[in-house]
Structure 1
Amino acid sequence: MRSGVRVERNAAFSPGRHNAIRVGLSHVKGLSKTLIGATTGNRLAGRYSTVEDFLSRARPDMAEAEALINSGALDCFGHTRPELLWIARLWRAAGRNRPAPHDGLFAETGQPPFAPDIPRIADYPAAEKLRMERETLGFTASAHPLRMFRLHPADRIIHAADLINHVGETVTLAGWLVTAKRTRTVHGQFMKFLTLEDETDIFEATLFPSVYARYGHLLTGRGPYLVTGVASQDHEDLTVTVESVKPAGHGTGAWQAWDSVVSQFESTGEILHLRSE
């Protein structure tokens, strides 16, 4: 499966194809309906061969160009995101985002070809790219957010895809919360069922009343969380009977653990170590 979003360079524009997930342009914050229509309409006349070709034909304003770049939609053109911003700003400085004239020397194309000299600029750190994707899309597209957390070997965290190999054992997994359901036992006590995911698969976790009473208050956002418990299997269903759970990183609100990683990366250049203790 290929992650990320991009401006398709061919005529196809479908939500899913060839085991890939396509993220529609409507998901990119700040794009006008005019630009979305121009992007898809102009593509029918031929693929976008370069980012300069895309800018010249779709004609986004600068804010829209930056949103597309930050979301990763223009990564397919082979430039780093700082290089793409460089090109877009040169394009704007040259007045290329203004309406094209209808007569004169360059009446057919509006203006002479836009072909700037592009310096080699290193790409942003992975944490910064994912932060920009979150701001423009509401989620990360180029990588699973757990990749930004360096899990400590001492925690012996396993992948969800390997849970089948640890039935009957006490295991620790790291995951983002997908869904949660709180219910009552026949005795009226609260318990909770969780569905979480890591980079490899989803997994189910059950907090029975005594554990839920102790740790339930920590489950206030998407996570990520470190879940420790006994792996069990009932027919084809795998689950973790939770013994302890805690937010992975600092903070318990949605995205707070993520933000702590980004903040530490920006201030120290180091990725936050996650510990379960």
Structure 2
Amino acid sequence: MNAIISASELADELAGGAPPVLLDVRWQLSVAKAAGEPPFDGRAAYAAGHIPGAVYVDLDRDLASAPGEGGRHPLPDLTVFGAAMRAAGVSARTPVVVYDGGQGWAAARAWWLLGWTGHPSVRVLDGGLPTWEGPLSTDVRQPAEGDFQPVGGTPGLLDADGAAALARSGVLFDARAGERYRGEVEPIDRVGGHIPGAVSAPTTQNVAEDGRFLPADQLKERFRSLGAAEGTDVGVYCGSGVSGAHEVLALAVAGIPSALYVGSWSQWSSDPDRPVAVGPDPQ
């Protein structure tokens, strides 16, 4: 099954006899406090209007644990995550579609986490809510309890040591903006730079201006040109395991399997004993 779905395809499936479970995961990286602005409120955005039938999922509460040694968005406790998914109506045998406000990062985090914990059918609305041409609803849906039971320990997850090793033995993509990779700026974490050996591959370059993914053949060529040759093990990290999930999704669209370092730069850079590389080169 394709990892993404278009708005027209979603509309057809929602109108059919076996609609998917639809999750609204609107979220934005909050750096607004320094500017004196309130942080983005995904629940308020959902309440103001969402695709009919969608259930809101809070990324910070449901798709991550509290910030700490594991980074800014560590893996959630699977008991908490499973309860949140079941409350949202997620069942093991029912397809799931997730969307966000258009950036795609939060939806990709939900897609990756559901897939990593064993759900067999999860797709992301390509381009997010801005591509939806149907009506919006302000009704808050109370779905029937789902039966999804997440299972941990499956492939596709990297820790810090695994990411460092993969940067030497395969290819490790850094999905952040190039200036953060190079260490020119660092608005959030302790220090700028990148994991030694990692290759800069900003996830923003995987999408067109409208937020939809580039065609699969273009994505495949991009990643091949950056080192993801046939048979090469591929990993991804970002700032805190959110935009990196979007790059894992882009790789999936291209037909390239990859693993995610969830702790990402927020975990790596918090340890002063871990090496930091700066500049445009992987070393």
The interval holding the TM-score normalised by the smaller chain is under 0.3
Report the structure, 1 or 2, having the larger strand content: 1
TM-score by length of 1: 0.26
Higher relative contact order structure (alpha carbons within 8 Å, sequence separation ≥ 6): 2
